[in-house]
Structure 1
Amino acid sequence: MKRILITLLAVLLAWSLGAQTTGVDLQSQLEELVASVLEENENADVEQLWSELEWLQEHPLNINQAGREDLQRLYFLSTLQIDQLLEYREEYGPIYSPFELNAMEGFDPELIQLLQVFVVFGEEAYEPASFGPRQELMLRAIRLVETQKGFREPAKYEGSPEKLYLRYRFSSPGLAAGLTSEKDAGESFFSGANPYGFDYYSAFATITLGQRKHQLFLGDYLVRFGQGLTAWQGFSLSKSAEVSQVAKFNQGIRSYSSTDENNFLRGAAARFSIRDWTWHTFASYKSFDANRDSIDGEAVFTSFQSSGLHRTASEIEDKNSVEGLTTGTNLTYSAERFSIGFSAVHFRYELPLARRPADYNLFYFEGKQLSNAGLNYQWGMNRYYFFGEAAWSSGGGLATMHGLQASPADAVEYAMVYRNISKKYQAPLAGSFTEGSQVNDEQGIYLGLVIRPAAKLSLRMYADFFQHQWVKYTTAAPARGREYLVQANYKLSDRWDIYSRYFRECKPVKVSGTYTKMNLDQTRQKLRVQLNGAVGERFLLKSRMEWAWYQHDQNAEGWLVFQDFGYKNKPNTTNWWLRLAYFKTDNYDSRIYAYENDLLYQFAVPAFYGEGIRFYMNGKVKICENIEAWMKASRSWLLGVNSIGSGNSKIDGNQRTEVKFQLRFKF
């Protein structure tokens, strides 16, 4: 999943920026995989990933000059593909044409076409055209047309129903800087709790010295080391049928520019490179949202708040209510196809964390201080690539993860990932390969396989087996689970393709009995068939049918069908998408997710349940060379209901309408 998703984010980015990318099937898979990511984690920071890909598109690499670390920044290239490219370059010399890439194993026409968006071909000494200072300003407004309960008198929300966004970027060869600000619907603007404008502000500055060998980061940033057991912030994927990217690259420190109001650090950081050694160091001091309380007269906080919403009195009270200090370092040695790194992170909170009494909280961290340390490695040998990390947390928690990915034959790829994370292991910055959202108390093994038995046919499949030694929020006892996926893709012609996917997950979920709670297996199954195609150079079509089945203490099922129509003019200054969907499910348990095209840096993956119809229209217009506009209008009709939503989000009636508008200025 990771390789396809990253690749397809890049494909869609290239398409939106005018690149000559014709892989309709790749764009289609992008949408499905973004949906699968956000189904599991609605807060996945896809926006940050998209922003990084756009930066890479505007600053292409010389394919004959780029080293391993440079090529790893392209995300969608696997380690084995990078090895192939470097070995070819070493044996045959500079690569002067994208046609030469056809001779390299693992480089299919669609990947080669995508790679041309991010690299230039020429002599090793050739430098891509330098550029002077560039600036960008983006404005966005979103509004729900119907009035939610929280805005009715007496209003529960402090602010207006508009969601507003402003982003500014400056970039030059040695300096990059930016400001991001956002006000969510219901938050005040230049009034109430926000007398200085927006509810959320984020800023960064990155100074680069010595041909990117040394960097200084000021303001907001992310840290990403090893395989994520010690520290990995921002976008992260785990289980995937696309086996060539189950490993993480050691990306180090990156400037932060997203609207996730929690998962980043704020302070100063630095990166220094000397020959084969790279050293990162960072220090962060920032406030975060939390629930404060008092125990025996001592101030504590009982939980972290991650919604980023500050609309009601209680939400405003939790805003930036606790401060925390985070410091850390990473030292990595890299040589050819081998690297080894050591990471250490220390946390100190202003107040002690005292979680509410519950069985599932028994082994989670409590107190004011916590430390992590980890040792990670990567080693490539012929067609095989080994990777892993071992980590420790104060309190005696241990975690380890080891993996293998390989391509023993041209038409076969496989991967294995084993993880063993103790119930005592705690790492606030962790983001590794796991079934659950927490990197804690999990043992499991993932097996993935890709087979291409014919030129137009590919089969992708994976199986994941996992277990937990202690109770979770959703379980009443230790539990085991399993998950399977099988997908077949067939290319009907140059412009048409079809795929079918079957997914099955079975894991215990607690139910209430007469006298106690107990685990009962919950089974989810999904079957999807989708046809993608193009009519001529300008018109795109997409048709999907999907079924879902749910079994637990009650059974439920549902289905969804939609038809998409896409249009883009020849100079690619205008493109539009329209969708008409019908869905019918027994309840929320049998819900079905479907990705929707949206504004740049925006991703919509609504859950469909009940019975209803949904329509949306989304488009982009390039007004002139320096001004672009995006817009989206959507409406849902739910049949047989008198209201939509609950609590302060409740809407009277059976219709929900949303409009979005965005402008980008480049100068």
Structure 2
Amino acid sequence: MKKLILLTTFLVFVGAVRGQHAEQALQDRLQNLLEQVLEDDENSDVEQLINDLVQLADSPIPINRAVEADFEPLFFLNPIQLKALLTYRDQHGPVLSQYELASVDGFDEVLAELTGMFLNFETEPPVAKYFRVRQELLLRATRLLEQQAAFKTGKFEGSQEKLYSRYRFTGKDIQFGVTAEKDAGESFFAKSNSAGFDFYSGFARLQFQRGSSSVVLGDYVVQFGQGLVAWQGFAMGKSADVDRIARFNQGIKPYSSTDENNFMRGAGADIRFGSFRLQPFVSYKAFDANTDSVNGELLFTSMQTSGLHRTESEIEDKNSVHALVGGAHLGFQTGNLQLGLTGMHTRYEFPLQRADALYNRYLFAGEQISNFGINYRYALNRLYLFGETAHADGALATVNGVMFQPVGQLAFSALYRNIAKQYNTPIGAAFTENSRVNDEQGLFFGIRALPAAGLTINAYADFFEYKWIKYTTAAPGKGQELMCRADYNLNRSWRLYVRYFYERKPLKISSEKLRYNQDQVRQGLRAQLDGELNSQFSIRTRLEHSFYEHDHNSDGFLVSQDLAYHHVNNRSKMWIRLAYFDTDDYDARIYAYENDLLYQFSIPAFYGEGLRAYVNGKVKICEKVELWLKCARTWFFGVDTLGSGNTAIDGSTRSELKLQLRFKI
């Protein structure tokens, strides 16, 4: 089964020390966001987003001393709500508890509790807190119990286990961490990995001027403007939170996840002086690529982003090309207005020469590229304007949006983007339908309404157009995407939501004589009921139906039942699920969130017919040690082989075993 593993989630951790309703609210928001994002782009990286929230849960934001930029990682607050929070603090003085947050304009009880999970309400921190040292060691092993074909034939160099370890140290004005990972099939202290793990990552962050300025050495990510020039890690796109379409400029942040490509390696700084904020960075890092030689000149034809190094060809592509990246962001704030300038230059060790295909005509090729952008944000009471315009190789790209909240129970949002087909950026990630920041014009409208007590409705419509062909199209085309979701709190213990999704966009059909576009239509209807039976047991029931139309029609169905147990003293937890699915083919696949180990969860894609069951549990061995275990199995009906090629499995079952130890020092 195709499985998307997304690391570093903290939903269970925060529930151990915070309110149960806030934990559920945050889990629901993340689940809804990720399921929809992954339907559009299965390679989306949410690890950095979750990693930021993990750190915030452990080191909350000092609400009574923090500046606006410190709140930017709180993705569930829209800019108008954040502005209302800061205005409330300025007008009423220090905020003393999360219960007071419910008095902020635009906050309800659940949002107040949710926000309070990440806030420190002290007016003056005790001196000893600055000297507190925290350390964490995480060890994890994962294994597929059935043997895949490449392990039988010896095509994979290493063993079936996937191994992961992470150490993090937080002290006075200093943080550092080391992450190491070996994927299944990669060698460990042998052959091509004589140094141990296949992937290592590390960083050190030093803070100055009472935390207002910092330097990051080693691995880090950059996030500027609205993503037209530089944005690494998770990028917020279309979701059920229709009033959260604006990006927050989070600048330079330490990197501690396991995506082996989308990060910088070098040094970056965050320097604040008066109303200005300067963030320079430089990186020199190797990446995986297919290399070749033409007339004695070395070049590369494509980048490899899987991060897998199991076979001879994958190992040959590992770290085969280097990239030198340098740039800076200069920000300025006066009152409600923020302006920013971003510049970045990228130079590759060898030229990039793409395949001679029409869809590649306007994509970047060559040895170097420069990107420049200007971004703005303006907040005035219940109105918020934002945007960025960028330039590269004579081409322009622009993203501009507005959010308006006339009353706390009603919010509107709109976003326009126009990205020239000649515009390219190596590490951009803007609000677009496609994963590349290239050749797209679009208009997005969203509305959020609370028409009655306990009822919330979110809806959006997005219209987009391509001026040139894509890899998946035979000609320019246009499409649209619609979503409507209604959430209803039956009471404090029971919640129901219903969601409808519709997408129409061009997809090529190839015949012997010609290629042409035919619209692909995907629809989905989902209903989910959540209930708390008592303080220890809760249940979740989901029904979902998917529809697909293109050169053929197909549909799918899924029903799942969850039971969760939380011990009163939080020393143990358990989650159990049984799901039945039946889809005509992969095109009608259905995604469903699963609970997983601490700092991890998964969203498998269900297709074919079968059953899936899992048990996931945690035991607190002592105050400093936790043990996590997950066992999962999927039974597929009417098949004798799963998968194909190197990952083929003889039989009709797929079973996983995961074990994790967490040490807090």
Query: Which TM class, normalised by the smaller chain length?
Result: over 0.9
* Match in the other structure for 1:344: 343
* Match in the other structure for 1:366: 365
Q: Percent of aligned pairs with the same residue?
A: 50
Cα pair 2:242 2:459 within 8 Å, conserved? no
1:420 to 415, 418, 422: 418
Residue 213 of structure 1 aligns with an amino acid whose one-letter code is: S
Structure 1 SS opposite 2:601: coil
Q: State how far apart, in whole Å, the 2-side matches of 1:73 and 1:585 are.
A: 38
* Match in the other structure for 1:375: 374
Structure 1 SS opposite 2:519: strand
CA offsets, 1:460-480, max 9 Å, x none?
100000000000010000000
> Cα gap change, 1:128/1:333 in structure 2, threshold over 3 Å: closer, same or farther?
farther
Shift in Å at residue 64 of structure 1? 1.6
- List aligned pairs for 1:5-154, cutoff 5 A: 12-15=12-15, 17-23=16-22, 24=24, 26-123=26-123, 129-153=129-153
| Higher alpha-carbon deviation: 265-274 or 34-43 | 34-43
* Match in the other structure for 1:203: 202
CA offsets, 1:427-467, max 9 Å, x none?
01101100001010000000000111001111110000000
- List aligned pairs for 1:322-337, cutoff 5 A: 322-337=321-336
* Match in the other structure for 1:220: 219
Q: State how far apart, in whole Å, the 1-side matches of 2:489 and 2:26 are.
A: 11
| Higher alpha-carbon deviation: 205-214 or 639-648 | 205-214
Moved over 4 A (4+): 8-13, 124-128
* Match in the other structure for 1:625: 623
* Match in the other structure for 1:548: 546
Cα pair 1:62 1:126 within 8 Å, conserved? no
Structure 1 SS opposite 2:172: coil
Q: TM-score, normalised by structure 2?
A: 0.96
Residue 35 of structure 2 aligns with an amino acid whose one-letter code is: A
Shift in Å at residue 237 of structure 1? 1.8
Shift in Å at residue 25 of structure 1? 5.5
Q: State how far apart, in whole Å, the 1-side matches of 2:182 and 2:354 are.
A: 30
| Higher alpha-carbon deviation: 616-625 or 116-125 | 116-125
Residue 285 of structure 2 aligns with an amino acid whose one-letter code is: K
- List aligned pairs for 1:425-444, cutoff 5 A: 425-444=423-442
Residue 145 of structure 1 aligns with an amino acid whose one-letter code is: L
> Cα gap change, 1:633/1:301 in structure 2, threshold over 3 Å: closer, same or farther?
same
Q: TM-score, normalised by structure 1?
A: 0.96
Cα pair 1:56 1:74 within 8 Å, conserved? no
* Residue 485 (structure 1) aligned with residue 483 (structure 2): yes
Structure 1 SS opposite 2:140: strand
* Match in the other structure for 1:318: 317
| Higher alpha-carbon deviation: 23-32 or 562-571 | 23-32
Cα pair 2:388 2:399 within 8 Å, conserved? yes
| Higher alpha-carbon deviation: 101-110 or 121-130 | 121-130
Shift in Å at residue 653 of structure 1? 0.5
Q: State how far apart, in whole Å, the 2-side matches of 1:10 and 1:459 are.
A: 27
Q: State how far apart, in whole Å, the 2-side matches of 1:240 and 1:28 are.
A: 12
CA offsets, 1:73-124, max 9 Å, x none?
3333221112112212222222223332222111111111122222222436
Shift in Å at residue 128 of structure 1? 9.1
2:612 to 582, 598, 614: 614
Cα pair 2:573 2:618 within 8 Å, conserved? yes
Q: State how far apart, in whole Å, the 1-side matches of 2:325 and 2:524 are.
A: 42
> Cα gap change, 1:11/1:414 in structure 2, threshold over 3 Å: closer, same or farther?
farther
Residue 100 of structure 1 aligns with an amino acid whose one-letter code is: E
| Higher alpha-carbon deviation: 459-468 or 30-39 | 30-39
Residue 186 of structure 1 aligns with an amino acid whose one-letter code is: G
Instruction: List alignment gaps of at least 5 residues for structure 2.
Output: 1-7
Q: State how far apart, in whole Å, the 1-side matches of 2:217 and 2:366 are.
A: 29
Residue 281 of structure 1 aligns with an amino acid whose one-letter code is: P
Cα pair 1:62 1:128 within 8 Å, conserved? no
| Higher alpha-carbon deviation: 210-219 or 578-587 | 210-219
Shift in Å at residue 26 of structure 1? 5.0
Structure 2 SS opposite 1:22: helix
> Cα gap change, 1:597/1:11 in structure 2, threshold over 3 Å: closer, same or farther?
closer
CA offsets, 1:349-371, max 9 Å, x none?
11000001111100011110100
Shift in Å at residue 231 of structure 1? 0.5
* Match in the other structure for 2:581: 583
Cα pair 1:21 1:114 within 8 Å, conserved? no
* Match in the other structure for 2:501: 503
Cα pair 2:163 2:182 within 8 Å, conserved? yes
Q: State how far apart, in whole Å, the 2-side matches of 1:408 and 1:36 are.
A: 28
